């Protein structure tokens, strides 16, 4: 029996117990459904273990040499490459992806651009107070889920942070308060107790609520008598009392607030609210955790910042990064690309039809270990090993803590890791 790290989501639980003979994983203990699905991907029916090329409208299994030749042909006959994904890859593979984009004068971005990367960009001016899972377990007495259905997106998050007893929180759940700000009654509401606070905010009115809380911090009795953002005055006041009275609080920022109208203003105001309360706070502080879904979404931001000074929307020209106002969305919308390299994600299933149809109209090179919507449309499909199971690597947990992932079993057909595959493409390009 071995204790391993699970890459089912960005929580990267390191307390999973498995039994393996080196070829297969026979038993998994402690994993949630998302984690179990990740381990089961080794032998899943949708697993990709051979390279494919589209011929006469159909994907046909080919040799690695033929697949690489097709990749190089697409690259050599095009000039505006778009690289996207990488949030399900190791940091080492993300670095190779950035260096490939640099070599081919491409535009590269990760899933973070429509998720936690927004918060990072806004925090450059105002700053941001972060924390770690260990600190939350040991110190926090108030947890706020803002636009986050943790019970389904990060299944063990509440189990680890809300229901555990820490070094300075020996009574655990009994003295912890959970606040959920969401327009939809999600599964996370099912764990709420008598002392908790459920705020069913109206859609796209997060900014209004944050401004009310900020005003009340500066001016007493500034909460409108009729409330705001679809909430009663008493609920807003309770929310503020918890923020100001908590010894230590944490706000988990989810996709709900990131996709709200005027999300940049809402995020900026939220960071300012945290700073304002922390200035007045005498007991402890309020911290923020950016919750991404894919297991290494935070990793790309760290790698990109280290390598280029930017965390997203990286445009290269003449082997140098250049200033660009483009995003992955604007690139696709304006059809400012002539082929794409997709790594470990399925934009066809997540983007609006207007964008996904434009993406599908140009050649697609897919690097992934599972079949998906994008694999059915790709011109070249290159299989890779599953990081954290069939190959090792580094990943960043949702609290920005680096975690080493280990190899547990050998990959089928000796398929390479994302890092090895991208490195082979770079080497073959150099020889041409």
In a domain, residue 41? The reply is no
Q: What is the pLDDT of residues 97-133, one digit of tens each?
A: 999 999 999 999 998 887 777 777 776 666 788 999 9
This prediction has a pTM of: 0.93
Contact 86, 113 (CB under 8 A): no
Residues 87 and 107 in one domain: yes
Report the range out of 254-268, 269-283, 305-319 with the highest average pLDDT: 305-319
In a domain, residue 85? The reply is yes
Spatial CA neighbour of 366 closest among 387, 381, 377, 344: 381
**Measured distance CA(182)–CA(320) in Å, rounded:** 43
**Measured distance CA(92)–CA(96) in Å, rounded:** 6
Contact 244, 280 (CB under 8 A): yes
Domain that residue 87 falls in: 48-111+296-431
Residues 286 and 159 in one domain: yes
Model pLDDT, residue 325: 87
Residues 425 and 309 in one domain: yes
**Is residue 42 scored above 70 in pLDDT?**
yes
Q: What is the pLDDT of residues 78-91, one digit of tens each?
A: 889 999 999 999 99
In a domain, residue 155? The reply is yes
Assign 4 a pLDDT band (cuts: 50, 70, 90).
very high
Q: Which of residues 258 and 263 earns the better pLDDT score?
A: 258
**Is residue 361 scored above 70 in pLDDT?**
yes
| Vertex 242: Cα angle to 238 and 246 (nearest 5) | 165
Model pLDDT, residue 349: 84
Assign 31 a pLDDT band (cuts: 50, 70, 90).
very high
Q: In the structure encoding, which two tokens stand for residue 281, read together?
A: 């706070």
Q: What is the pLDDT of residues 285-339, one digit of tens each?
A: 899 999 988 999 999 999 999 999 888 899 999 989 998 888 899 999 999 999 9
Lowest mean pLDDT among 312-316, 341-345, 350-354: 350-354
Model pLDDT, residue 13: 95
Residues 353 and 424 in one domain: yes
**Measured distance CA(343)–CA(86) in Å, rounded:** 5
Q: Which phi and psi (to 5°) does residue 71 adopt?
A: -60, -45
**Is residue 267 scored above 70 in pLDDT?**
yes
Model pLDDT, residue 292: 85
Q: In the structure encoding, which two tokens stand for residue 216, read together?
A: 């009340």
Angle between helices 64-76 and 418-431 (to 10 degrees): 60
**Across the chain, what does the average pLDDT equal?**
90
Residues 316 and 230 in one domain: no
Tokens 């203990």 -> residue: 29
Q: State whether residue 383 is helix, strand or coil.
A: strand
In a domain, residue 336? The reply is yes
341 CB-near residues (< 8 Å, 6+ apart): 81, 82, 83, 84, 100, 106, 365, 367
Calculate the CA dihedral of residues 299, 8, 109, 398 and round it to 10 degrees.
-40
Picking from 269, 290, 311, the residue at the C-terminal end of a domain is 290
Cα atoms found within 13 Å of the Cα of residue 294, Cβ hemisphere only? 27
Residues 337 and 282 in one domain: no
| Whole-number percent of the chain with pLDDT over 70 | 97
Q: Which of residues 17 and 281 earns the better pLDDT score?
A: 17
Spatial CA neighbour of 158 closest among 187, 185, 183: 187
Model pLDDT, residue 230: 87
Residues 269 and 379 in one domain: no
**Any bridge partners for residue 382, and if so which?**
367
**Measured distance CA(339)–CA(363) in Å, rounded:** 5
Q: Which phi and psi (to 5°) does residue 407 adopt?
A: -80, 130
Model pLDDT, residue 229: 83
In a domain, residue 423? The reply is yes
Residues 322 and 410 in one domain: yes
Model pLDDT, residue 261: 65
In a domain, residue 34? The reply is no
Q: What is the pLDDT of residues 197-235, one digit of tens each?
A: 999 999 989 999 999 898 888 776 778 777 788 899 899
Phi-psi region of 251 (alpha: psi -120 to 50; beta: other; left: phi over 0): beta
Residues 311 and 228 in one domain: no
Supply the CATH number for residue 167's domain: 3.40.228.10
Q: Which of residues 228 and 48 earns the better pLDDT score?
A: 48
Assign 188 a pLDDT band (cuts: 50, 70, 90).
very high
Q: What DSSP line would sit under 384-403, residue for residue?
A: ---BTTTB-EEEE-TTS-EE
Average pLDDT over every residue of 368-382:
94
Q: What is the pLDDT of residues 162-185, one digit of tens each?
A: 988 877 766 678 889 999 999 999
In a domain, residue 28? The reply is no
In a domain, residue 18? The reply is no
Residues 52 and 139 in one domain: no
Spatial CA neighbour of 110 closest among 338, 392, 278, 308: 308
Supply the CATH number for residue 68's domain: 3.40.50.740
Assign 150 a pLDDT band (cuts: 50, 70, 90).
very high
Tell me how many domains the chain contains.
Answer: 2
Picking from 290, 321, 348, the residue at the C-terminal end of a domain is 290
| Whole-number percent of the chain with pLDDT over 90 | 65
Picking from 290, 305, 334, the residue at the C-terminal end of a domain is 290
**Measured distance CA(267)–CA(258) in Å, rounded:** 8
**Measured distance CA(271)–CA(284) in Å, rounded:** 17
Residues 355 and 313 in one domain: yes
Assign 93 a pLDDT band (cuts: 50, 70, 90).
very high
Residues 359 and 261 in one domain: no
């Amino acid at each position: 029996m071995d204790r391993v790290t699970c890459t089912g989501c960005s929580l990267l639980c390191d307390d999973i117990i498995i039994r393996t003979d080196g070829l297969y994983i026979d038993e998994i203990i402690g994993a949630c459904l998302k984690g179990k699905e990740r381990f089961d991907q080794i032998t899943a029916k949708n697993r990709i273990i051979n390279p494919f090329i589209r011929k006469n409208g159909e994907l046909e299994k080919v040799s690695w040499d033929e697949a690489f030749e097709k990749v190089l042909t697409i690259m050599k006959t095009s000039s505006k490459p778009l690289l996207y994904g990488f949030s399900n890859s190791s940091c080492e593979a993300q670095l190779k992806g950035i260096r490939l984009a640099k070599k081919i004068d491409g535009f590269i971005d990760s899933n973070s651009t429509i998720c936690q990367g927004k918060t990072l960009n806004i925090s450059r001016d105002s700053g941001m107070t972060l924390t770690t899972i260990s600190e939350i377990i040991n110190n926090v007495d108030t947890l706020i889920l803002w636009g986050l259905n943790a019970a389904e997106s990060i299944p063990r998050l509440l189990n680890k942070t809300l229901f555990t007893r820490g070094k300075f929180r020996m009574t655990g759940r009994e003295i912890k308060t959970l606040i959920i700000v969401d327009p939809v009654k999600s599964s996370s509401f099912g764990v709420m107790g008598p002392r908790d606070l459920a705020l069913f905010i109206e859609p796209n009115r997060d900014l209004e609520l944050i401004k009310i809380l900020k005003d009340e911090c500066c001016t007493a009795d500034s909460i409108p008598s009729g409330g705001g953002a679809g909430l009663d005055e008493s609920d807003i006041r309770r929310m503020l009392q918890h923020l100001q009275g908590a010894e230590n609080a944490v706000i988990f920022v989810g996709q709900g607030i990131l996709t709200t109208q005027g999300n940049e203003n809402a995020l900026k105001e939220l960071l300012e609210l945290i700073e304002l309360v922390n200035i007045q706070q005498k007991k402890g502080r309020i911290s923020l955790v950016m919750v991404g879904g894919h297991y290494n979404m935070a990793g790309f931001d760290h790698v990109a910042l280290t390598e280029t000074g930017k965390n997203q929307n990286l445009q290269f020209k003449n082997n140098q990064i250049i200033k660009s106002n483009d995003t992955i969305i604007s690139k696709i919308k304006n059809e400012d690309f002539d082929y794409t390299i997709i790594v470990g994600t399925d934009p066809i299933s997540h983007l609006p039809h207007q964008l996904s149809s434009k993406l599908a109209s140009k050649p697609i090179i897919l690097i992934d270990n599972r079949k998906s919507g994008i694999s059915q449309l790709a011109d070249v499909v290159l299989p890779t090993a599953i990081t954290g199971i069939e190959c090792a690597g580094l990943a960043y947990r949702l609290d920005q803590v680096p975690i080493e992932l280990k190899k547990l079993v050998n990959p089928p057909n000796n398929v390479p890791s994302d890092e090895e595959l991208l490195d082979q493409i770079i080497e073959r390009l150099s020889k041409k």
